[in-house]
Amino acid sequence: MPNRYLIANWKMNLPPEGVESYLANLSGADPRDVALVVAPPFPFLRQVVQCGEGTCVAAQNCSDHVSGAFTGEVSPGMIRECGADYVILGHSERRTLFSESDALVARKLALAIESGLAPVLCIGEDVRVRDTGHVAHFLADQIKAAAVDALEQVEEIVLAYEPIWAIGTGRNASGAMVAETLVGIRHAIERFWPARLAETRILYGGSVSPDNVDDLVAHGTIDGFLVGGASLDSRKFLAIHAGMR
C-alpha cells in the first residue's frame, strides 16, 4: 500500500493538452512515496492504462451488479479487465446529482472489493452540516454505512474526505480544519472498520490547487489529495505533487 496518493479526477472532461501528452508529462515526475492515479471517463480507461507510465488508473464509478440488464452501467469486473486498479465510490456528485444512497455505495463497495479493485471511498458533509457543528457525527455515519463484510478481505482501500461545499467551488477547507476533521474520521475508522484497516490512508479533496497545497500539507496528517479541476492541467497537477514534498 502506498504511503500517499495524488488522484486526478477528470470527471466528464479530458485534459485540453490531450491525453497522451498529459500522461507523458506525468511520467517524467519522480513519484517518491506518492502513488499518482488518474481517473478518466470510462471510454479512456484503456488508453490511460496503456500510455500512463508509472501512473495508476481509477474508474470514477461502478455498478453494484456483476452483469445483466442494466443499460448504461459498467461492472467492477469490466473495469478490472480494462486494467484499472482503483475505483472512486460515493463521490458527492454521484450522491447528490445521481441520488446514490449510503446503502447503494456500500453495495458498490462490496462488489468492487470482491472484483479486485481498490476502492477510493469519498465522504463529506454539506455546508448545513458544517454550520450546525455535526460534522464528526455525519462522517462517522458514512463510515459506519460503508462497514461491509468485504472490508475483512480488502487489500487496499483509500478514504477521501471531500466536504461538498469545497468541491469545484474554489473554497477549500483550511489545513487546520482538515486536520481537526481527520481526527474524527480516524476515530470512526477505528470504531466501525476492521482493526487491520486502522492505517487506512485518508486524502483530502475540495478545490486543491498549487496555491493551497502548502497550507494543507503543513499539518502533516493528510495522506494525499483527490483533485478535480486542477488535475486537468498536467502542470498544475504536478505542481500539487511537488508541493507534497
Binding-site ranges for ligand PEP (CB under 6 A):
9, 11, 162, 167-168, 205-208, 226-230
Whose Cβ is closer to ligand PEP: residue 64's or residue 162's? Answer: 162
Backbone angles phi, psi at 209, to 5 degrees: -150, 170
C-alpha cell at 125: 458533509
State the minimum distance, in angstroms, from the CB of residue 171 to ligand PEP: 9
Task: Indicate the DSSP class of residue 157.
Answer: -
Cα distances (angstroms) measured from residue 245 to each of 32, 172, 211, 217, 241: 9, 20, 14, 9, 7
Active-site annotation holder among 93, 100, 125, 162: 162
What is the pairing mode between strands 118-123 and 158-161?
Answer: parallel
CB of 5 to ligand PEP, least distance (A): 13
Contacts of 177 (CB under 8 A, 6+ apart): none
If the CB atoms of residues 16 and 68 are measured against ligand PEP, the closer one turns out to be 16
DSSP β-ladder status, 224-227 and 118-123:
unpaired
Q: Shortest distance, CB of residue 92 to ligand PEP, whole angstroms?
A: 8
Residue with the three cell numbers 483530502 = 204
Residue closer to ligand PEP (CB basis): 70 or 209: 209
Concerning whether 219 is annotated as a catalytic residue, the answer is: no
C-beta nearest to ligand PEP: residue:
228
The CB-of-68 to ligand PEP minimum distance in angstroms stands at 29
Known catalytic residue: 162? yes
Choice among 91, 93, 100, 125 that is catalytic: 91
Residue with cell 474524527: 184
Active site residues: 91, 162
